[in-house]
Amino acid sequence: MEHRNSARYVLVLVCLLAFAQFSFAEDIIATTSNGSTVILHDNGRWEYYQNNARIRDVRESAVPKDARFEVSVLYEPAEKVKKNVRMALEADFATEEEIKDSLRKVPKGGYIYFQVPTKQIKSGITRELTYSIFDTGKTAIFTKTVRDSEATASEDAGVSNLLVVPLYGRPKAKVMKARVEDLKNHATLDIEVPVK
């Protein structure tokens, strides 16, 4: 009981100091004397801050709503690409030699697609994002910065491809990592991409 009360008093003291220093009404992340991270709200409430599924992060995003961006990543293995290429060429009555020539051009690892809902792309707002792919290790095997105005229509209705990345080697990892970075707003999103 003594320990709980002392932690509470320390937390109140941290809250008062934080509110005295930051009186411009914003949520603040603070650390208590026992090492717990808490969110101090401008209305006097506080709650533990942990970035996991059970405890939500209640802070409002600093990125304006009209600047938020939804990105998804899709992996298409080489076998599937070759099957689709063969079906399309057979439907066009291509010769077997033309089919084999086209199949040789398919990258061994397949493709990774960075996609967005088409309605999200607005002509007045141009976003520039940096896309990276990691196989094994911390060094990216692919990095490119692309504007959303460069997006092209995909085979799925309502979805556009921001970037199509050919994988010339077979992936070594069972799960690759795709990274999307908004360097201007200092935001990074890592996405796991199952490939096996």
What is the rounded distance in angstroms from the CA atom of residue 19 to the CA atom of residue 57? 20
pLDDT, the chain, mean: 77
pTM exceeds cut of 0.85: no
Q: Mutual orientation of helices 78-91 and 96-104 as an angle, nearest 10°?
A: 150
Look at residue 11 in the predicted model and tell me its pLDDT: 36
What is the tally of structural domains in the chain? 2
Q: Tell me: do 135 and 190 sit in the same domain.
A: yes
Specify if 85 maps to a domain.
no
Q: Tell me: do 162 and 117 sit in the same domain.
A: yes
Residue by residue, DSSP assigns 58-106 as -PPPSS-GGG----EEEEE-HHHHHHHHHHHHHHTT--HHHHHHHHHTS
Q: Tell me: do 41 and 128 sit in the same domain.
A: no
Ranking 17-21, 86-90, 192-196 by mean pLDDT, the lowest is: 17-21
Look at residue 189 in the predicted model and tell me its pLDDT: 85
Q: Tell me: do 37 and 55 sit in the same domain.
A: yes
Structural domain boundaries, residue 6: 2-60
Specify if 92 maps to a domain.
no
What is the rounded distance in angstroms from the CA atom of residue 151 to the CA atom of residue 163? 7
Q: Tell me: do 70 and 20 sit in the same domain.
A: no
Assign 130 to helix, strand or coil: strand
Continuous H helices in the chain: 2-21, 78-91, 96-104
Higher pLDDT, 122 or 50: 122
> How much of the chain exceeds pLDDT 70, in percent?
66
Q: Tell me: do 115 and 164 sit in the same domain.
A: yes
